[in-house]
């Protein structure tokens, strides 16, 4: 099954798998970013983060492999009179040819051997002083049933971030949090949170 088929199957169901509220960690960093900034959402799914940042005055572009997820995003954006640019593509095929002030992601499921290339593309896509802010499931998430993959190759370690983003300052932490994100993420979880700024 392709990544697109996998995520389309999840997003075809009624409602929003991870709810319509933004990821709490990403939303908490709103004041770090200048309003009117150019912001990119990676692996954005049904659009909960993109909608939030667009409503707060950012110029938002959202990328996801699921055309169904992005269609649901655009439906909500239209209802709220928001202009969000979307691109349906596998992140392994994304070409980093634009610059952004902010790049965000919540729970990107990328295999370990795909990350170095993706992280380099993110770093290259940031303007100087630009931010990459994201939350990922850590390998310790295997101890919890609140969501996320059950394959360690799709889960993250702090070293994944320490060993990349060499032109950036990095704040990296592993934390136990309580997720309340739709039916997809519910309960105690082990996550890695990053705030990375290009120097």
Q: What percent of the chain has pLDDT over 70?
A: 100
Model confidence band, residue 1 (pLDDT cutoffs 50, 70, 90): confident
Average pLDDT over residues 13-23: 95
Distance CA 167, CA 198 (A): 6
When the pLDDT of each residue in the chain is averaged and rounded to a whole number, the result is 96
Task: Give the tens place of pLDDT for each residue, 178-196.
Answer: 999 999 999 999 999 999 9
For residues 23 and 42, is the Cβ–Cβ distance under 8 A? no
Query: How high is the pLDDT of residue 35?
Result: 85
Alpha-carbon distance values, 18 to 41, 80, 122, 143, 156 (Å): 15, 19, 24, 20, 20
Query: How high is the pLDDT of residue 79?
Result: 97
Task: Give the tens place of pLDDT for each residue, 32-74.
Answer: 999 889 999 999 999 999 999 999 999 999 999 999 999 999 9
Average pLDDT over residues 130-138: 98
Query: How high is the pLDDT of residue 160?
Result: 97
Distance CA 179, CA 95 (A): 32
Query: How high is the pLDDT of residue 43?
Result: 97
Query: How high is the pLDDT of residue 42?
Result: 98
Phi, psi of 50 (to 5 degrees): -60, -45
Element (H, E) at 74: helix 67-79
Query: How high is the pLDDT of residue 129?
Result: 97
Interacting residues of 5 by C-beta distance below 8 A, sequence separation 6+: none
Domains in the chain (CATH in brackets) are 3-198 (3.40.50.150)
Question: Is the pLDDT confidence value at 140 over 90?
Answer: yes
Distance CA 66, CA 1 (A): 13
Question: Is the pLDDT confidence value at 96 over 90?
Answer: no
Query: How high is the pLDDT of residue 142?
Result: 97
């Amino acid at each position: 099954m392709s990544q697109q088929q996998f995520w389309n199957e999840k997003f075809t169901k009624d409602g929003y798998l991870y709810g319509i509220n933004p990821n709490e960690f990403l939303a908490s960093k709103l004041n770090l970013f200048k309003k009117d900034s150019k912001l990119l959402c990676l692996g954005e799914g049904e659009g909960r983060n993109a909608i939030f940042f667009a409503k707060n005055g950012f110029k938002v572009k959202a990328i996801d492999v699921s055309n169904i997820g992005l269609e649901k995003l655009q439906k909500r954006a239209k209802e709220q009179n928001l202009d969000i640019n979307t691109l349906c593509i596998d992140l392994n095929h994304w070409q980093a040819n634009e610059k952004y002030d902010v790049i965000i992601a919540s729970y990107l499921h990328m295999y370990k051997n795909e990350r170095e290339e993706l992280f380099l593309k993110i770093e290259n896509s940031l303007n100087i002083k630009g931010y990459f802010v994201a939350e990922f499931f850590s390998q310790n998430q295997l101890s919890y049933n609140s969501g996320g993959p059950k394959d360690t190759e799709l889960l993250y370690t702090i070293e994944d971030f320490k060993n990349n983003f060499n032109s950036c300052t990095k704040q990296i932490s592993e934390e136990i949090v309580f997720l309340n994100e739709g039916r997809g993420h519910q309960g105690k979880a082990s996550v890695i949170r990053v705030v990375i700024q290009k120097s």
